[in-house]
Amino acid sequence: MNTPGEGHSVLLAEDDDSSRLATKLFLQRAGYKVGETQDGPATLREAALGHYELLLLDLGLPGLDGEEVLARLRDNGAMPVIVLTGRAEEPERVHILDMGADDYMVKPFSLPELEARIRAVLRRGRQVPQSARIEVAGLTVDRRAHRVYLNSDAVELTPKEFDLLAFLASSPGHAFSREELLEHVWGSTQEWQDPATVTEHVRRLRLKLEVDPANPRWLHTVRGVGYRFEDEQAG
Ligand code: CA
């Protein structure tokens, strides 16, 4: 019988012994290879070895906290990260995604749900197109380089802002609901994440891309539906 983990290797950074042990045993039974660290510096050293496909990162780590670990990882690579946090407030969750985490789990979390999210993140990693460049009237989305240019000026986007823009721009003229965007861009197949996350990311994208964010050229709100990327020049 196939196990969901299929031998995928994950690094589990958690200083709480009982939580780390329970998570490790659950994932091992599901077929994952699990490495463990208990502080920030050790996590960075292990992650740098390149043996792991994904990092489960407790935010409250001794030595170097999880936020700093995530920031340093993001400076030198694209290893997927699921943050484990006790902080459940909306601004904190948006902040975690902005820092470049692929997903997060609020403690106490369900282990089967964590496992499902690990699968979703690994699946997304495999689906990234090898080379795709979208160019529409001054806006360039380079998926291979993970870069966006506006009239040849580079635009700094967070990883999720980039994923959202790239997804919408791949289907110009097509309206997507926030739930569909959560599913396709965040990999959330149940109501795991707040649709307000999408609203907030669209708002930030408009601030970064639109000449007049209140009157968008690219990212349109479709009343009662969600959002649509427009490639035709209006009027
Ligand atoms: Ca901790």
Ligand 1 mean position, distance from CA 200 (Å): 28
Question: In the β-sheet with 133-136, what is the strand arrangement from edge to edge?
Answer: 133-136, 139-142, 147-150, 153-155
Ligand 1 mean position, distance from CA 18 (Å): 11
- In sequence order, the 6+-apart residues with CB closer than 8 A to the CB of 30 are 3, 4, 5, 115
All CATH 1.10.10.10 domain ranges of the chain, comma separated, are 133-229
Ligand 1 mean position, distance from CA 99 (Å): 18
Instruction: Report the distance separating Cα 131 and Cα 115, nearest Å.
Output: 29
Ligand 1 mean position, distance from CA 81 (Å): 16
pLDDT in the model for residue 128:
47
Ligand 1 mean position, distance from CA 82 (Å): 14
Indicate whether this model's pTM tops 0.75. no
184, two tokens: 């396709």
Instruction: Report the distance separating Cα 131 and Cα 77, nearest Å.
Output: 18
pLDDT in the model for residue 130:
38
Ligand 1 mean position, distance from CA 90 (Å): 20
The dotted CATH code for 133-229 is 1.10.10.10
pLDDT in the model for residue 37:
97
Ligand 1 mean position, distance from CA 67 (Å): 12
pLDDT in the model for residue 198:
93
pLDDT in the model for residue 189:
56
CATH 3.40.50.2300 is held by the domain 9-127: yes
Please give the average pLDDT of every successive group of 10 residues along the chain, which has 235 residues: 75 96 96 96 88 93 92 76 86 81 91 94 64 78 86 91 90 87 77 81 96 93 93 63
Ligand 1 mean position, distance from CA 2 (Å): 32
All CATH 3.40.50.2300 domain ranges of the chain, comma separated, are 9-127
CB 66 within 8 Å of CB 83: yes
- Of 234, 208, 229, whose CA–CA distance to 218 is shortest? 229
